Amino acid sequence: MNGILTQEKSIYLQISEMIETDILRDILLEEERVPSTNELAKIYAINPATAAKGINVLVDSGILYKKRGIGMFVAAGAKEQILKRRKEAFYNDFIKKLLHEAASIGLDKEQVIQMIRLGEEKQSSKRREG
Amino acid sequence: METIVCSKVCKQYGTKQVLKEIDLTLEKGKIYGLIGRNGAGKTTLLSILSSQNPLSSGTVTWNGEAIWENQHALNHICFSRELSPNLIGNNGNNMKIKEYLNIASYYYPNWDKKMAQDLVEKFELNIKQKISKLSKGMLSMVTIIVALASKADFTFLDEPVAGLDIVIREYFYKRLLEEYMETGRTFVISTHIIEEASDLFEEVIVIKKGELLLKENTQELLSRAFRISGLSEVVDQMTNGYKKYHEEQIGRRKSVTIFLKGKEELPKEYDVTIQPLNLQSIFISLCGMEE
């Protein structure tokens, strides 16, 4: 678990996203137990009902599953599923906003594409220097 | 389920109406945040809910039994009042922390002596010190110890973090959660440091000038409050039909807070900036000064 809770998003969504990110980064592995509602509540000093809501979002989407009397576990295939969903969300969360912002400051499509290429080059040269 | 129900509670001091027809139900197993401006009636409400203060009219019941002078009911309720150096005892209080905790241990039938001792150590208090010599923060520590160690099913804390440094505040929040998760006790906590405590509260109770303004699940309240800003006319069009709070206008730019109802969604077709609000900003929107 890492990251700090901010005010921009509801706490329970931040909790579920943090667990997802930990799964993507192999901090939490598939078929492994995730921190309990009470553990999360204590770590982040939040109401356990809110922590439970964050966990339930992931149970509903099949990322986590419950083992009776033991706790919540990362489902098999969870990582792949999170990746797939994040890719879908990428369009809504980033591309749409990017285009909207670009239009409002008068950047045309070509300029935006050029910037993306520039960003790409910088990233790969940074990686080479690594 | 165990509850405290407060119905049409009014309180008058002379001609001043401090509480107006308060209807409120507190359920077992929840942490409530009680917020309101100075003088809104928070302390009066808590003292009435714990029968430390007579009400002018209305009723307060615990599991259906009136709580006034009802020791059986009051055994389940603890109101750890804010201490002041000269409030207790006969002029210039000479009571020591140790003696004060000792009295509390007789008053609350489920008193947890070990927990009280542990907290005294954690807070690095000297129990031989006199209450009258304590700093503001140390007085808060003593009220926290009484509240937690009382083990009462319904425990009310009046500004427990006033004067405490951030390390002790964080420790208190975690300790409170721990106790809550172990026991399922109900806590009502009044505070002016809203933002850092807001995530503790399952529900938030707002009182304004003696009236109950709202009582709602904190996360639900947060999810329906928005601050809309942009070109004045566009903001007006978009927020048409909503009650507007905390309107601010600078030149052509207008900002306003609105609350959606239930599952309503924000209209999307307007070119405005939409910001979700934290509890502190919601509170300012609801209870801020009118200009």
Q: Which chain A residues are within 8 Å of B195, Cβ to Cβ?
A: 7
B41, B188, B210, B214 from B24: Cα distances, Å: 14, 12, 13, 10
B31 and A11: CB-CB below 8 Å? no
A48 and B173: CB-CB below 8 Å? no
Query: At residue B95, does pLDDT exceed 70?
Result: yes
Q: What is the pLDDT along chain A (130 residues), one digit of tens a residue?
A: 334 455 567 889 999 999 999 999 999 999 999 999 999 998 888 999 999 999 999 999 999 999 988 999 999 999 999 999 999 889 888 888 888 889 889 999 899 999 999 998 888 887 776 5
Interchain contact A53–B (C-beta under 8 A): yes
Structure tokens belonging to residue A40: 């999360």
Q: What is the pTM of this model?
A: 0.86
d(CA B256, CA B242): 10
| pLDDT (mean) for B38-52 | 95
Span B265-285, pLDDT tens digits: 888 788 888 888 999 999 999
ipTM above 0.90, yes or no: no
CA of A49 vs chain B CAs: smallest distance (Å): 7
CA of A121 vs chain B CAs: smallest distance (Å): 33
Among chain A residues, CA nearest to B226: A8
The letter for the amino acid at B124 is: E
CB pairs under 8 A between A and B: 45
Across chain B, mean pLDDT equals 92
Q: Indicate the helix (H) or strand (E) that contains A112.
A: helix A109-129
- At residue B159, φ and ψ (nearest 5 deg) are 45, 60
pLDDT score recorded for residue A96: 86
d(CA B80, CA B100): 12
pLDDT score recorded for residue B30: 97
* DSSP state letters, B168-225: HHHHHHHHHHHHHHHH--EEEEE-S-HHHHGGG-SEEEEEETTEEEEEEEHHHHHHTE
Query: At residue B120, does pLDDT exceed 70?
Result: yes
CA of B54 vs chain A CAs: smallest distance (Å): 33
